[in-house]
Each structure stands twice: as structure tokens, then as C-alpha cells.
A and B are shown apart, each in its own frame.
Chain A
Amino acid sequence: QKEVEQNSGPLSVPEGAIASLNCTYSDRGSQSFFWYRQYSGKSPELIMFIYSNGDKEDGRFTAQLNKASQYVSLLIRDSQPSDSATYLCAVNTGNQFYFGTGTSLTVIP
């Protein structure tokens, strides 16, 4: 079993809709959780991180963490075409970060 699993997609949503991205992790000792956005050919760019159960909002982005279910999600409200990218979920356990394979999101104008 991989440490971090994401649906690879592709996920398509119309402009203005809510995009929902999901991630599960295997190590209950994981301490913090990160969402990165990656455009084609570029390096990952941090969007948000979360380490407490519940929701954390930053602008159009909301991260949700449920440690009991070992589940992390990212909601993107009012999706824009510029949000089209691959979204990587990363989990920090000790000194290491484990990444999922990413979910490809396309926002259709």
C-alpha cells in the first residue's frame, strides 16, 4: 500500500464551480499535511497546509483533515481556468514527506 493515495483524475469542472480533491494516507503517525499545485513542467507550489482536525480556509481554498479516517481534502471554490493544474497531496512523517501521484484538474471556461 502506498503511503499517500490520490485519484489521478482527470477531474473536470466548469468555471465557477467547486472542485473537490481527495487524499488518503496510511501512517497514523503523520503530523502535517500539505497541498501543492504543479503546472506542467514546473516545480510544486505550496497552496496550503493543515495539521489539526477540521477545516482551514485561505481565500478560495479550504483544506479539510480527518485524522481518524486518515483523509485530507482540498476544496477550490469559484474555480478559475488558471486553477487547471495537477494537485499533489503531501504528508509529513518525521523527517520525510510522502507525495501522492497527483490529481489533474481542468477548469473549463
Chain B
Amino acid sequence: DTGVSQNPRHKITKRGQNVTFRCDPISEHNRLYWYRQTLGQGPEFLTYFQNEAQLEKSRLLSDRFSAERPKGSFSTLEIQRTEQGDSAMYLCATRARQGNYNEQFFGPGTRLTVL
């Protein structure tokens, strides 16, 4: 257990529905990342927060995806009007406050299945 928690762990939804995932970081980590991972691939960067500011967002991320990190604590990732291609593992990772050489630690992930 890395100290990063994600909820729910599994989500099954029908195409067209909205879903929201939550990530609770290690308390002293101010940097937070969201990734998507499909079978046979490595994690793909979605977005990055430093405290409450969303500093980077993948150009691959469609307008149906939005992320927030109010008050720089937990973060949520919302997918609107889900499509079957959104089925994947959604991973949250957090990183310590300072330094370019700090590792990031992953939560257990949320597995999304869109029917």
C-alpha cells in the first residue's frame, strides 16, 4: 500500500453515462497525476496538478474528460458521455513536494468498463 487511495476500484457503466473517479494522495505530496492504461500498454499521461493548479493536460484528452483538485487535496476525474473506448484502468499517482528526482507512487487504480 503506497498511501494513495482511489475510489471506486471498479466501475461498470453504460455508454453515454457520466462517471467520476476520486483519488486521495499521500498527504504531503502536492503533485498529482492521472493516467489511463489499457491492456498491453504502459500508463498514458492524462493530466497533472501542482497543488490545486492543473498545469498540464494531454492533447489526447478529449473535452469529455475533466479533472479537478479543489484545495490541493483529493482529485476527481470525470468522464462525460462515456464511450466503449474509454474502458481502461485509470491510475492516480502522487509525487513529493520538491525536486526533479522524486519518484511517483501509484494508487490501486479504478477499472472502468463501458458496456
Contact A95 B103 (CB under 8 A): no
**Residue of B31, B41, B91 ringed by the most chain A CB atoms within 10 A:** B41
Mark out the residues of chain B between 92 and 115 whose CB falls within 8 Å of any chain A CB in the assembled complex.
93, 100-101, 103-109
Contact A49 B56 (CB under 8 A): no
A22-40 CB mask vs B (1 if < 8 Å, else 0) is 0000000001101010000
Q: What is the CA–CA distance of A42 and B41 in the complex, to the nearest angstrom?
A: 13
Contact A98 B101 (CB under 8 A): no
Contact B43 A95 (CB under 8 A): no
For the residues of A in contact with B, the DSSP-based class is strand
Mark out the residues of chain B between 11 and 35 whose CB falls within 8 Å of any chain A CB in the assembled complex.
31, 33, 35
Contact B107 A95 (CB under 8 A): no
Contact B100 A96 (CB under 8 A): no
Chain B residues, CB < 8 A from A61: none
Contact B101 A51 (CB under 8 A): yes
Determine how close the nearest CB of chain B comes to the CB of A52; give it in whole angstroms. 10
Determine how close the nearest CB of chain A comes to the CB of B34; give it in whole angstroms. 12
Chain B residues, CB < 8 A from A108: none
Contact A32 B56 (CB under 8 A): no
Given the known A-B contacts A97-B45, A101-B40, are A49 and B103 also in contact in the complex, defined by CB atoms under 8 Å? yes
Chain A interfacial positions (CB closer than 8 Å to B):
4, 8, 31-32, 34, 36, 42-46, 49, 51, 88, 90, 92, 95-102
Chain B interfacial positions (CB closer than 8 Å to A):
2, 31, 33, 35, 40-45, 48, 50, 55-56, 89, 91, 93, 100-101, 103-109
- 10 tightest A-B contacts by CB? A99-B42, A43-B106, A43-B109, A32-B101, A99-B43, A31-B100, A51-B101, A49-B103, A101-B42, A44-B106
Can you list 27 A-B pairs with a CB-CB distance of less than 8 A? A8-B40, A31-B101, A32-B100, A36-B106, A43-B106, A43-B107, A43-B108, A43-B109, A44-B43, A44-B91, A45-B106, A46-B103, A46-B104, A49-B103, A88-B42, A92-B101, A95-B31, A95-B48, A95-B55, A96-B45, A97-B33, A97-B45, A97-B93, A100-B42, A101-B40, A102-B40, A102-B42
